[in-house]
Chain A
């Protein structure tokens, strides 16, 4: 069922962000494949991209 208000993708993700520990857990699962791999270079790049996704910055491409 779709609500009559269009919540907007950004607002939906913020709903999870503002939703305490459980909400952060959801975000981690959403972006987990990227965040969990911070120990390898490949995954570090993906983690930066994830951070960019969350913070609204362009992913870095110079490393």
Chain B
């Protein structure tokens, strides 16, 4: 029996993806199958499978896969824990994804197989480890053809990195705004005269945008593909081009100044007794479930995500709105070799919507991330006071995840809540108090357990959607 094809996999005519509970299945056309077999025969493929850089893949008979019977071949891929998109990644995550794309492409190229595209959506994160998921991206090299993925690599990897690192422009809103990424022309305009003479920026951004503008109408009249081939274009040049891109990716560094939250990890406003009580509460809630997937909203330095994975969570998705904090967390996780935590940049007051073709290609954050336990610690006062979201609406957001929630409520006299309240006009936020919060929570959740933190100004609840 066939499941419907995944709405995000239609762009390549040679293969299509189907997702069911157990696995990801790929239907291959005859040509797609021949391309896969060519790639599977390389040492590059075997190495990438062995070290987990390429998603675990097994060829299966078409009849045994839940796909249309008309496909010539079928593959079974391991499922990735949580699907995420580049507009939810931190700078260092996008950079590691770019490294992976180039490394796998070059290794395959040495054995006569080339990637037909270079989309950052072809990379996923298994915890803190990037994995290349689009096995259908590899095809037999056509002699004399340039690398079709070059422009896409610039749009979906390199230009977002340049904008963040060189101009301080966050790439996430731009990638969320356009599935095609940041064109050479937009990148050139946004970078202005910054590093205009640096060789990699000059080549991949400035000259690239000029060449595109100059040859915008040339495609129909001129056979540049044929001309390049006759002039001796070949795999050596593609390899040099990819090496050039690798150098550019290694060179791009985001020297960010400290952001509002980047010192939050020190948590000067908490007592050690409060932190211990919170950690104990989170550990108990996690351990009561069987290897749950935990969603940590407002994760900051990932302290409670670590508590959760140490208490038995199979994966913790650590979400925070502060890009710099998430970038620090990712790099720390990589340094520690901690792979069970997936850090993401997300503004809870404006989470990723459904995007792309018919708004179905990229499902919204809430549809995509289905946790077994939600942590919402030190977040309520920010949503209720900084973002002025009513308690009822905050509770609805938590309820949307369809899982038990550990939520922390700072009372009016809590130093952090009081600081936010002090900025408000008298009387406007009188509803911010514990009884009104508990009334809102009780309408959608059943409270299973609650404790007051030792400092006396915050309450923790474990509750179940009702």
Contact = CB atoms under 8 A, between A and B. Distances in A.
B250 to A, nearest CB: 15
Given A14-B207, A20-B237, A53-B214, A26 B148 contact: no
Contact of B244 (A5, A9, A11, A18): A18
B240 A22 contact: yes
A53 B13 CA distance: 34
B265 interface: no
Nearest to B204: A18
Interface in B303-343: none
Interface in A1-30: 1, 3-23, 25-27, 29-30
Contact of A19 (B211, B225, B240): B240
A12 B228 contact: yes
B216 A18 contact: no
Interface stretch (B149-157, B354-362, B419-427): B149-157
B438 to A, nearest CB: 55
A38 B239 CA distance: 31
- Report, as a range, how many residues of chain A touch the other chain: 20 to 34
B269 interface: no
A18 B158 CA distance: 14
Contacts of B224: 9, 12-13
Contacts of A21: 240
B162 interface: no
B245 A18 contact: yes
A7 B150 contact: yes
B146 interface: yes
Contacts of A15: 146-147, 150, 233, 237-238, 241
A25 B185 CA distance: 26
B215 A8 contact: yes
A56 B233 CA distance: 22
Interface string B231-257: 111101110110111000000000000
B213 A5 contact: no
Contacts of B237: 15-16, 19-20, 22-23, 26
Interface string B203-231: 11001101111111011001011011001
B23 interface: no
A28 to B, nearest CB: 8
Interface in B338-379: none
A14 B240 contact: no
B208 A14 contact: yes
Contacts of B238: 15, 19
A9 B226 CA distance: 11
Given A8-B215, A9-B218, A16 B208 contact: no
A36 B172 CA distance: 46
Interface string A28-63: 011000000000000000000000011110000000
15 contacts: A3-B117, A8-B219, A11-B208, A12-B225, A13-B215, A15-B150, A15-B237, A16-B146, A18-B241, A19-B237, A22-B237, A26-B232, A27-B231, A53-B214, A56-B210
Interface of A: 1, 3-23, 25-27, 29-30, 53-56
Given A15-B233, A18-B240, A18-B244, 10 more contacts: A7-B146, A9-B215, A10-B208, A10-B212, A11-B211, A12-B225, A13-B215, A17-B203, A30-B227, A56-B211
